[in-house]
Structure 1
C-alpha cells in the first residue's frame, strides 16, 4: 500500500506542482477540503473506500469535506455540493494513473494535495490527517456560532 503525505511542507512553492492549488477544483478553495476517489476497473477498492467514508457523514460535514468519485471522465459527488466539474481536467491536474487504476487524493482548503494514496484509506486515518492540519486545528478553536 502506498500513501504519500504532502501536508508537512512548511512553505508553499508555487513552482512546485505538488504544492500548487489544483486549478480544476478551484471552486472549493478556502471553503472545503476535497477527497477525490478514482475508480478502479472492477470498482472493488473504490467501493470499499466509498462505503468507508460515507459511513460517517457527520464527520465529513464537520470537516467541511466534499467527496468526489471520478470514473473515466465522469465526476459524481458522493458527499457535498458540486457544480460543473471536468473529470479529464481533474485527472490531468492531479497526474492520476491511467483510467481504471485506483487512486485517492485529499486536497486541503488551500487547494493543494495533502495526501495521495494508491489503496483505500480508513476514515480514521483520513480524519487523523485532516485533524492534524494547522487550518483544522484553528477551526476547532473557534467558538460555536452564537444563537
Structure 2
C-alpha cells in the first residue's frame, strides 16, 4: 500500500509543478517575448554562446520586450539571470518537449505561442527578423515612431 501512496504523492507534485510552470509562463503573456534556452548542463558551450548573443544584443532585447529563460541541467530555472520560483525545470522540458540531454532555443511570442525553435543557436539577427515580422511588433514600431 505504501508504494501506491508514494506514487500518488509524486504524481501530485508533478502536476503541481506543471501547473505552477504554466502559471509562471502566463506572466509573460502580452508583456514579453521569452527566449527559452534549454541545455543539458549549466556550463555548456552552446548555452554560454546563446547567453553571449543575448548580452551582446541587450538593446535589441529590450526594444523587443524579450526575456531570457534558462533551463539547464537540474538547476533552478532563471529569468534574465534571476531564479524563477514559479517555473519548474522538468515541467518546462515537458511542455516544450525538450529532453534533458538536448540543447534547444525556443522563441515564444507575446501571445504565448512558440514562434521559432532550433536545436542549435539562434543568431540575434534571426530572432529580431522573426519578431520584427510579427503584426504585434509592427504595431509597436509604428506607435514608437508616432510617439517619439
Query: 1:92 is matched with which residue?
Result: 94
User: In the alignment, is the contact (CA less than 8 A) between 1:36 and 1:70 conserved in 2?
Assistant: yes
Larger of the two Rg values belongs to structure: 2
Separation of aligned partners in 1, 2:140 and 2:82: 19
Structure 1, unaligned stretches of length 5 or more?
1-21
Paired residue secondary structure (2:68) = strand
User: In the alignment, is the contact (CA less than 8 A) between 2:77 and 2:84 conserved in 1?
Assistant: no
Separation of aligned partners in 2, 1:82 and 1:140: 30
Query: 1:27 is matched with which residue?
Result: 27
Structure 2, unaligned stretches of length 5 or more?
1-20
Length, aligned pairs only: 125
For normalisation by structure 2, the TM-score amounts to 0.74
Separation of aligned partners in 2, 1:99 and 1:25: 20
User: In the alignment, is the contact (CA less than 8 A) between 1:66 and 1:80 conserved in 2?
Assistant: no
Query: 2:125 is matched with which residue?
Result: 124
Query: 1:71 is matched with which residue?
Result: 72
**More RCO (CA 8 Å, sep 6+):** 1
In the TM superposition, 1:1-147 aligns within 5 A as 23=22, 25-41=25-41, 43-73=44-74, 74-78=76-80, 84-96=86-98, 98-143=99-144
| CA pair 54-80 structure 1, distance change in 2 beyond 3 A | farther
For normalisation by structure 1, the TM-score amounts to 0.75
Paired residue secondary structure (2:31) = coil
**Displaced runs of 4+ in structure 1, greater than 6 A?**
144-147
Paired residue secondary structure (2:26) = helix
User: In the alignment, is the contact (CA less than 8 A) between 2:35 and 2:106 conserved in 1?
Assistant: yes
Determine which structure has the larger helix proportion and give its number: 2
RMSD: 2.5
Task: Report the CA distance between 1:40 and its aligned residue.
Answer: 3.4
Separation of aligned partners in 1, 2:81 and 2:145: 24
